[in-house]
């Protein structure tokens, strides 16, 4: 297959991932917020693509050199597009799609799109140039095939900071320290979203291979996803005496994220082990973030893409083929450094952005709008109009 077709394949996979994000995020929101959840995914993709076109590509081709910035690459003036441009846009689309699901049901529409611009224009391009080519992480031995560090981790960090700054949904956390479950409106739809995410990631990661070791990559993605889902459902059976639906979904997705770092360099047994551990660690991280750290994440994306990515980066040097013990220790140290550096970059820039937005805009929906649902408050529409309430009950909360 021609390399151009592999690039197109990766881009198609990224679009599939976006479909999965939209379906999964809308399903895990209540019905009064479902339409806006889908619109945010669509508009997030639009902003991310244009942000990368305006400045992100120029930073990427300049290798991060401020005084060597390729000015002709700004706004696409030079029209120097390439297969690499297409593949990086695909990566940006996946990273930015993590954020809307985390901030669902309480963050306003327009301010949250700023995260798409920040990730597409700065954070992801910088993380990529650190990791590839002449980047400093690449020079010291970083091995991250599918973007655990330079794709999933920055998106998860940006989303986590946003969730802390914006705050939880009304009624999520109680004064006694307990957490209230706020179920989404459609569990079957969430399951469909997970399957679409699985398919999209499979195509995306296989497309990144450019025809090299694509069979191994594809097989390892399948094995890690299967092991992650099975480990999660067994863990939930042991812990809660019943197989938990959402934790199983999270375990499968966590396995896919974890294997992305080393999918091209390990045998099937290693992929199964990595996926199975992710299937245990990611669901537990979701519970820990919710109960202990009081992070309101309706989608579970912070744990799936953050914790899953960290485990994948730690596991890759332990399981990748053909390395000596000394090389494994060296690459493990490099990956720990990559985790710290990329997370610090994403957290610092994201914190600055979210704080500025909180102080200059009404990024948090009002209590009345949150009660009615953001579909009505922001979009004058309902996701399911045939079942919509005929009377809005929160006018007593509104200022006259």
The dihedral built from the CA positions of residue 22, 263, 8 and 116, taken in this order, carries a sign that is positive
pLDDT above 70 for 323? yes
**Percentage of the chain modeled with pLDDT above 90:** 79
pLDDT digits (tens, 9 = 90+) for 121-146: 999 999 999 999 889 999 999 999 99
Which residue did the predictor score with more confidence, 65 or 371?
371
- Mean pLDDT over 329-358 rounds to 97
- Residue whose pair of structure tokens reads 């095939």 in the numeric block: 145
**Do the Cβ atoms of 293 and 266 come closer than 8 Å?**
no
Residue 250 burial (CB count, 10 A): 30
pLDDT digits (tens, 9 = 90+) for 196-211: 999 999 999 999 998 8
- Mean pLDDT over 280-288 rounds to 97
pLDDT bucket at 76, cuts 50 / 70 / 90? low
- Mean pLDDT over 160-169 rounds to 97
- Mean pLDDT over 350-356 rounds to 98
CA–CA separation, 73 vs 60, rounded Å? 10
pLDDT digits (tens, 9 = 90+) for 230-250: 999 999 999 999 999 999 999
CA–CA separation, 319 vs 335, rounded Å? 14
CA–CA separation, 87 vs 73, rounded Å? 16
CA–CA separation, 262 vs 233, rounded Å? 24
**Count of residues making up the chain:** 400
pLDDT bucket at 77, cuts 50 / 70 / 90? low
């Amino acid at each position: 297959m021609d390399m151009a077709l592999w690039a197109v394949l990766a881009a198609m996979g990224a679009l599939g991932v976006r479909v999965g994000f939209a379906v999964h995020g809308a399903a895990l929101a209540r019905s009064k917020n479902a339409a806006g959840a889908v619109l945010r995914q669509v508009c997030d993709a639009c902003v991310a693509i244009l942000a990368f076109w305006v400045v992100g590509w120029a930073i990427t081709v300049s290798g991060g050199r401020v005084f060597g910035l390729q000015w002709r690459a700004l706004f696409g003036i030079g029209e120097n597009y390439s297969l690499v441009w297409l593949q990086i846009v695909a990566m940006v689309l996946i990273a930015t799609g993590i954020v809307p699901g985390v901030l669902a049901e309480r963050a306003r529409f327009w301010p949250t799109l700023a995260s798409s611009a920040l990730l597409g224009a700065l954070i992801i391009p910088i993380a990529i140039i650190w990791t590839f080519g002449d980047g400093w992480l690449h020079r010291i031995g970083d091995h991250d095939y599918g973007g655990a560090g330079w794709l999933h981790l920055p998106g998860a960090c940006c989303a986590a900071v946003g969730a802390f700054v914006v705050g939880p949904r009304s009624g999520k956390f109680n004064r006694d320290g307990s957490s209230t479950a706020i179920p989404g409106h459609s569990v079957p739809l969430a399951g469909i979203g997970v399957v679409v995410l699985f398919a999209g990631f499979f195509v995306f990661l296989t497309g990144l291979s450019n025809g090299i070791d694509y069979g191994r990559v594809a097989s390892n993605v399948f094995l890690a996803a299967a092991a992650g889902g099975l480990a999660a459902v067994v863990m939930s059976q042991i812990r809660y005496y019943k197989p938990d639906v959402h934790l199983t979904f999270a375990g499968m997705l966590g396995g896919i994220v974890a294997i992305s770092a080393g999918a091209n360099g390990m045998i099937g047994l290693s992929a199964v082990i990595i996926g199975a551990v992710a299937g245990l660690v990611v669901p537990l991280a979701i519970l820990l973030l919710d109960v202990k750290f009081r992070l309101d994440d309706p989608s579970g994306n912070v744990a799936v893409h953050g914790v899953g990515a960290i485990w994948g980066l730690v596991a890759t040097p332990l399981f990748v083929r053909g390395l000596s013990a000394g090389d494994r220790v060296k690459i493990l140290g490099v990956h720990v450094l990559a985790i710290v550096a990329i997370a610090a970059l994403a957290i610092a820039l994201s914190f600055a952005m979210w704080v500025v937005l909180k102080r200059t805009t009404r990024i948090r929906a009002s209590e009345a709008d949150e009660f009615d649902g953001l579909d009505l408050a922001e979009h004058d529409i309902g996701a399911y109009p045939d079942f919509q309430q005929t009377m809005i009950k929160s006018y007593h909360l509104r200022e006259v």
